Amino acid sequence: MHWRRNNQINSFSENVLLVYISEISKDLKPPTVSSMYSMLRSTIDIKHNIDISKYAKLKACLKRRSTGYKRKKAKTLNKDPPDDRFLFTKGIIISFNVFNVTLIFGIAGACRSHELRDLQLNNVQDLE
The stretch 106-115 carries a mean pLDDT of 71
Burial of 17 by CB count in 10 Å (0-12 exposed, 13-18 middle, 19+ buried)?
Answer: buried
Within-domain flag for 48 = yes
Considering the entire predicted model, what is its pTM?
A: 0.53
Domain coverage including residue 7: 2-66
14-73 per-position pLDDT tens digit: 988 899 988 888 888 888 888 889 999 999 999 999 998 889 998 898 888 888 787 777
Within-domain flag for 115 = yes
79 with 127: CB under 8 angstroms?
yes
- Specify whether 6 is located in the same domain as 41: yes
Domain count, the chain: 2
Average pLDDT, the chain: 77
Within-domain flag for 109 = yes
- Specify whether 62 is located in the same domain as 115: no
Please list, in sequence order, all residues whose beta carbon lies within 8 angstroms of the beta carbon of residue 102, skipping any fewer than 6 positions away: 119, 121, 124
